[in-house]
Structure 1
Amino acid sequence: MSGYSSNMFYRTFFWGLVYVTLMLFDTFRAQECEKMIDLDLKNSFAGTSLDVRLLLYTRANIFCGQLLSHQEPFSNPHFNLSSPTTFLIHGYRPTGSPPVWLYQFVEFLLNRHDMNAIVVDWNQGATNFNYWKVVKNTRKVAENLTDLIGKMENNGANLSSIHMIGVSLGAHISGFTGAKFGGKIGRITALDPAGPEFNGRDPSDRLDPSDAQLVEALHTDMDALGYRDLLGHIDYYANGGADQPGCPRSIFSGSQYFKCDHQRSVFLYMSSVNGSCPITAYPCESYTDFLDGKCMDCGKFKPDGCPVFGYDVIHWREPLVRLGQTRTYFQTNEAPPFCKFGYKVEIVTWNQKLHWGYLTIKLHNGKEETQVELNHKSIMFEKYVETTLFAQFDRDIQPVKEITLKFCPAKGLRPRKKLRVLHIRLTPLQNNLRPLCRYDLLLEKNKDVTFRPIPCEDSNF
């Protein structure tokens, strides 16, 4: 190629690239990408008047929100009435900033399913240091959504295909909206529903199971900003429903002290949408019973077993609705992946006298290990009496090649220093893996005993 031709080629290529870039810029600008209103502390002090904005995201505009008209919502070419619709509704915003999780949440939803994802931006109305004025706005936001959903229904949308995900005050907004349609809306997900001004209220003044065909509520901060009692067909109490692992316990930690537990509900649910690490929710009357291993039998949910927390619990809708209100518990890690891996641990000892103490169990696969300390209370070991425990490990170590046990006697007048184990069995509660057994072990005080598990005998053990 001659020098002249080469220069012409690069010049043509350059201007072509400029043209394409300008065209893309014009297209992007024509789309008028919208985001949630960003306010600040001066708005919090002055207070804000309610203004509800609806931001539509679909797989065609997953990173570019489109403002949905309240008067003519169907004029937006991206809005498809035949597709399911999910509303994402934030809660109280004392400082006025948009939630840090908002856009990733939308992305996870659209990666999971083709839908209309509508962010309900009521930041103007949620930003105010006067919480009680914000609470009054929740009814007005619900009226706005009721009007939109009514138009959708009149134009052929199926109410059962609507999913409302409400965070904190957004949970009760979802409930008020669902009540207007007599519970025909498909699903409401309440993420740490707000407690202040709603605790103890009648069902008509808060979220309740009659507001949708399936109502689920996740509790992560019930001793402060969240709601304590049951609100849905299934209520999840993560780590007991109050203090979350990894969240600061001191006020000197700054704003995270106030919002970490409350906000954890969103990240846990997002993880369930992402689907990378399922969490089993165990129906149980109390967190103590859950920790004591009394709630591992999910026979009433046959043939599917214990429900899975979060987005996929829809597969358990029929038994959940039939059972009324189900309280469930699970534990998590402090950061993603949040899921833990549970084992049913059954031990029979043959000491002549009662022994009390704690156990540490460690699993090895040859390259890595994981351990759990069963120390929430002292365990009683009685001769020839089976002791059942629930052990949750932070990782799934497979295949398990070695197990290490350590017995720590409980403090007392005459603590027993040796625990004679007739047999021990560890049964994985996920993945349908085979039980791990061992027979005839001697555990000395505070000493590790490592062994290779062997096949369990064909008996109850």
Structure 2
Amino acid sequence: MLRITFLRFCMLKLCFFICLVYGVKSDEEEKCPEFTDLNIGNALSGTELHVQLLLYTRENPNCSERLIEHNVTASEYLNTSKKTVFVIHGFRPTGSPPAWLGDIKELLLSSGDINLIIVDWNRGATTVIYTTAVENCRKVAETLKNYVDQMLADGASLDSMHMIGVSLGAHIAGFVGHKYDGKLGRITGLDPAGPSFTREPPEGRLDRTDAKFVDVIHTDTDVLGFKKPLGTIDFYPNGGMDQPGCPQTVFSGLQYFKCDHQRSVFLFLSSLKRKCNIIAYPCDSYSDYKRGKCVDCEAFQPMSCPVMGYYADSWKKHLILKNSPTKAYFDTSDNDPFCMYNYLLYIITWNKSIRRGFIKVKITDYAGNTIESEVNSEVATFQQYKRVKILTGFYRDFDKISKISLTFSTKTLIGPKYKLRILQMRLKSLNNPERVQLCRYDFVLMENTELTFKPIPCPENST
């Protein structure tokens, strides 16, 4: 008897010790389900697919509610009469929650009174075997379809649903949209995954027919992302490949592989902050955009050029009426908020001989602050009396410009230095087209020699 009592005492002490060391979840912790947090060990051993749907609203912005797949009416916070936004992550080779998860939750809830559903399929996405995660995508889509069906039965509408998918998550959103014959309101694809999907037909990947409006941001088309257009409108920042500020060599470690790919998410987050509108220019190619051939946005009149990100659907009607995919290009800075302020430089020369080269631009405001153009323009060909358009951009902007500095260069190390005889120069702001355009007439640029001058307002009736 004494022995049994002693054993019970030892068991109680052991239980107390375990609780003391590892802790016991409080009621509050039980009430606030969180995104699954795994590690590289889980990735190495592999994980079985498990999907949880975490609901946030303005009534519960800091404490999610785990939705029950076959019982929508059991939710305390879900309001099916409101817009519903799903956020779907992608492949997770390390198992940790996405670094951007907290920001996208906070910013989406601040953008409107919505149901925000974080689709957590970390168990299933966490693996070192990429193809395993790819195979799980359709299973995740099936789970989402089952829940959306429940929401529809409870009064929700497909038109009020917006799915935001990152990498593999973009294709998951496409699979769900395909199941509803493209009647979802909107799908946003953030650098949709390229590997395993590049050769797939439309039903095997995200496609513009998967929702009424599909906008896609491509930032890593040469490695992890999908190169070809997939949406109603496809945005290609910095050409869609190497993003400014991202490492250029493998010696930078993991960031070298994921920085370009993740930039799509951070650009989207920037659009929610609304520190500036990132304007995009519909164009057939990045090189044409760089040559200034596609900066008028005539197809979008009376509206201006489309903007990238959350508010891209403001241009939905124009894009849908066009009834063909639209590719849009733009350049960004190297960090948040990624704004770039674009100008068109028009130049007419009177050299008898053709000149080819580059022009670097600096602008100075009346306080003496100077900024230099950051956009690497394409080589321009200057012919007598023919106007050349050069796209240039700055990380900052000035309301009023007091001085302009120009430098002409052929970027050749040997041979004679050339002169560029300018008949007329005109500088036009693309971000603020209502501003007075600035002109200068009859001057000479000596190669590799900066010339600074005070511009004058261009005549109003000149072009």
How far apart are 1:260 and its partner, in Å? 0.4
Partner SS, residue 342 of structure 2: strand
How far apart are 1:131 and its partner, in Å? 0.8
Cα pair distance change 1:234/1:28, threshold 3 Å: farther
1:328 partner letter: A
Q: CA RMSD in A?
A: 1.7
Is this contact kept in 1: 2:167–2:190, CA < 8 A? yes
Partner SS, residue 313 of structure 2: helix
1:448 is the counterpart of 2:450: yes
Cα pair distance change 1:376/1:396, threshold 3 Å: closer
Q: What is the aligned partner in structure 2 of residue 140 from structure 1?
A: 139
Q: What is the aligned partner in structure 2 of residue 258 from structure 1?
A: 257
Structure-2 separation of matches of 1:28 and 1:56: 19
Structure-1 separation of matches of 2:369 and 2:308: 27
Q: What is the aligned partner in structure 1 of residue 332 from structure 2?
A: 332
Partner SS, residue 328 of structure 2: strand
Q: What is the aligned partner in structure 1 of residue 407 from structure 2?
A: 406
Q: Map Cα deviations across residues 231-257 of structure 1 (whole Å, 9 max, x no partner).
A: 000001111111111111111111001
Q: What is the aligned partner in structure 1 of residue 55 from structure 2?
A: 56
How far apart are 1:415 and its partner, in Å? 4.2
Is this contact kept in 2: 1:346–1:388, CA < 8 A? yes
How far apart are 1:373 and its partner, in Å? 5.7
Q: Map Cα deviations across residues 394-436 of structure 1 (whole Å, 9 max, x no partner).
A: 1112211111111123428754522221111111112222211
Structure-1 separation of matches of 2:448 and 2:314: 45
Q: What is the aligned partner in structure 1 of residue 348 from structure 2?
A: 348
Please identify, of 293-302 and 214-223, the stretch whose mean Cα deviation from structure 2 is larger.
293-302
How far apart are 1:377 and its partner, in Å? 3.8
Identity value in percent: 46
How far apart are 1:339 and its partner, in Å? 1.4
How far apart are 1:356 and its partner, in Å? 2.0
Partner SS, residue 333 of structure 2: coil
How far apart are 1:322 and its partner, in Å? 2.1
How far apart are 1:186 and its partner, in Å? 0.4
Structure-2 separation of matches of 1:349 and 1:412: 24
2:345 partner letter: V
Cα pair distance change 1:30/1:445, threshold 3 Å: closer
1:429 partner letter: L
Q: How does 1:158-169 map to 2 (within 5 A)?
A: 158-169=157-168
Structure-1 separation of matches of 2:300 and 2:461: 26
Residue segments in structure 2 that go unaligned for 5+ positions in a row: 1-24
Structure-1 separation of matches of 2:187 and 2:369: 40
Which runs of 4 or more aligned residues in structure 1 lie more than 6 Å from their structure 2 counterparts after TM superposition? none
Q: Map Cα deviations across residues 323-371 of structure 1 (whole Å, 9 max, x no partner).
A: 2210111111110120101111110112222222211101111242221
Cα pair distance change 1:114/1:367, threshold 3 Å: farther
Q: How does 1:50-89 map to 2 (within 5 A)?
A: 50-89=49-88
Is this contact kept in 2: 1:85–1:118, CA < 8 A? yes
2:247 partner letter: P
Is this contact kept in 1: 2:144–2:176, CA < 8 A? yes
How far apart are 1:73 and its partner, in Å? 2.7
Q: What is the aligned partner in structure 1 of residue 97 from structure 2?
A: 98
Cα pair distance change 1:396/1:27, threshold 3 Å: farther
Q: How does 1:24-423 map to 2 (within 5 A)?
A: 29=28, 32-323=31-322, 324-365=324-365, 366-372=367-373, 375-411=376-412, 414-423=415-424
2:333 partner letter: N
Structure-2 separation of matches of 1:272 and 1:81: 26
Structure-1 separation of matches of 2:225 and 2:152: 32
Partner SS, residue 186 of structure 1: strand
How far apart are 1:454 and its partner, in Å? 0.9
Structure-2 separation of matches of 1:381 and 1:27: 73
Please identify, of 349-358 and 100-109, the stretch whose mean Cα deviation from structure 2 is larger.
349-358
Is this contact kept in 1: 2:287–2:378, CA < 8 A? no
Is this contact kept in 2: 1:356–1:416, CA < 8 A? no
Is this contact kept in 2: 1:340–1:395, CA < 8 A? yes
2:398 partner letter: I
Q: What is the aligned partner in structure 2 of residue 10 from structure 1?
A: none
How far apart are 1:460 and its partner, in Å? 3.2
Structure-2 separation of matches of 1:208 and 1:375: 32
Is this contact kept in 2: 1:355–1:381, CA < 8 A? yes
Structure-2 separation of matches of 1:412 and 1:42: 54
1:332 partner letter: T
Please identify, of 370-379 and 284-293, the stretch whose mean Cα deviation from structure 2 is larger.
370-379
Structure-2 separation of matches of 1:28 and 1:325: 51
Q: What is the aligned partner in structure 2 of residue 18 from structure 1?
A: none
1:339 partner letter: C
Q: What is the aligned partner in structure 2 of residue 23 from structure 1?
A: none
